[in-house]
Amino acid sequence: MFREKRELRIPGPTPVPPQALRALSKPLIGHRTSDFSGILERTTQRLKWILGTEGEVYILASSGTGAMEAAVANIVSPGDRVVVVVGGKFGERWSELCKSYGAVVDEIVVEPGRAVDPDDIRKALQSGGETRAVFITQNETSTGVEHDVKAVAAIVRETPALLIVDAVSSLGAIEIKMDEWGVDIVAAGSQKALMLPPGLGVIGVSSRAWQVIEKCKSPRYYFDLIACRENLKKSTTPFTPAVGMFFALDETTSMIEEEGLEAIYRRHADMRDMIRAAARAVGLELFAEDAVASRTITAIKGDGTFDVEKLRKRLASRYGIEVAGGQEELKGVIFRIGHMGYMDRLDMVSTWAAVELALLDVGYRVSLGAGVKAAMEVMARCEY
């Protein structure tokens, strides 16, 4: 039986382009070979460009959380004070990780749907003693909010504290300029805007971070960044890398190079604007404020007249579109449409058409085409 094509509109995994899928089926090569070293050098170089750093980038065999753990294990010594911005699920993850490594965690709790006020970070750094690092999520996937990493970096860099950023759902879709802004460590993963299956962790490390890494007292083995550094000098990795995934990373980073970072950032901003206009046009409220709305994921509130979880199920079973629900206390309250990676403006039109059909199916009063029209009107004004 013919089944609807499956379209991933969740915040990872995301659609993988055909070039990368083809690369994944290539026969493997040994990782201690000059061929593999060539791929490692090339992909590392491109990731450095995407991160905007002359520092180092390491590609780990892990999911995004592995890169986050690598950051914590190499920076946080037991008893260190850290400041963590908690505006949702992924801010909480930083907090939990830091506690696991014995940090004294000062949380800046931000109301879901809002971004952190950089002034609150200034205050936290001025009080409470010496701070090892500030941890923040560039794009809080659970609420669809972007925190202003550039503004936060300007404050943190005036102090001895390091700035550590979770860019798992933003790298390759939302700009980050590590060196220019003053970001010390960035953690990311492969299955979001980098257009790959899950399995690679990416960690960018500034030169300033090494002084802390070298003195860090936390135990580490698999995620020892010093071992990564020494091996990368010889164009290799400490352990067996995910060789097949590197073939695919070679393809997707080359696609990113071809499209150009500015065009990619604009495409994601346009997709966000289209989905937000569409949701409003059918009378649904958005969870995040406009000024801080995520370019890679939009959280939309139910209005209480329909079952949000039923809507999601209907979207998947009838129309082949997978969207995400809310996590924990937001379950049943919001649904989240992922628009990151291998998708474009026109995809948002069909995505929203399916949302309208499914809304109708679950009993929400929608005039078919109202949101689609609004999205198309935004698209008509897009310059690209």
Ligand X SMILES: *Cc1c(COP(=O)(O)O)cnc(C)c1O
**Contacting residues toward ligand X, per CB under 6 A:** 11-12, 63-65, 90, 137, 139, 141, 166, 168-169, 189, 198
Specify the residue, 173 or 256, whose C-beta has the smaller distance to ligand X.
173
- Dihedrals φ, ψ of 130, to 5°? -60, 135
Smallest separation, CB 86 to ligand X (Å): 12
Smallest separation, CB 29 to ligand X (Å): 26
Smallest separation, CB 192 to ligand X (Å): 6
Specify the residue, 12 or 371, whose C-beta has the smaller distance to ligand X.
12
Specify the residue, 14 or 237, whose C-beta has the smaller distance to ligand X.
14
Smallest separation, CB 119 to ligand X (Å): 23
Specify the residue, 143 or 206, whose C-beta has the smaller distance to ligand X.
143
- Dihedrals φ, ψ of 125, to 5°? -75, -30
- Dihedrals φ, ψ of 203, to 5°? -135, 125
Which residue lies nearest ligand X, judged by its C-beta? 64
Q: Is 117 exposed, middle or buried (0-12, 13-18, 19+ CB in 10 A)?
A: middle
Q: Which residues, including other chains, have CB under 8 Å from residue 17's CB and lie 6 or more apart?
A: 195, 251, 252, 255, 342
Specify the residue, 12 or 118, whose C-beta has the smaller distance to ligand X.
12
Q: How far apart are CA 2 and CA 21, in angstroms?
A: 22
Smallest separation, CB 1 to ligand X (Å): 32
Smallest separation, CB 354 to ligand X (Å): 23
Smallest separation, CB 72 to ligand X (Å): 13
Specify the residue, 194 or 228, whose C-beta has the smaller distance to ligand X.
194
Q: Which residues, including other chains, have CB under 8 Å from residue 356's CB and lie 6 or more apart?
A: 282, 366, 368, 369, 370, 371, 372
Instruction: Provide the angle, in degrees to the nearest 10, between the axes of the packed helices 89-100 and 64-75.
Output: 40
Strands (E), the chain: 7-9, 56-61, 81-86, 104-109, 133-137, 139-140, 145-146, 162-166, 185-189, 200-205, 297-301, 321-325, 334-338
Specify the residue, 169 or 298, whose C-beta has the smaller distance to ligand X.
169
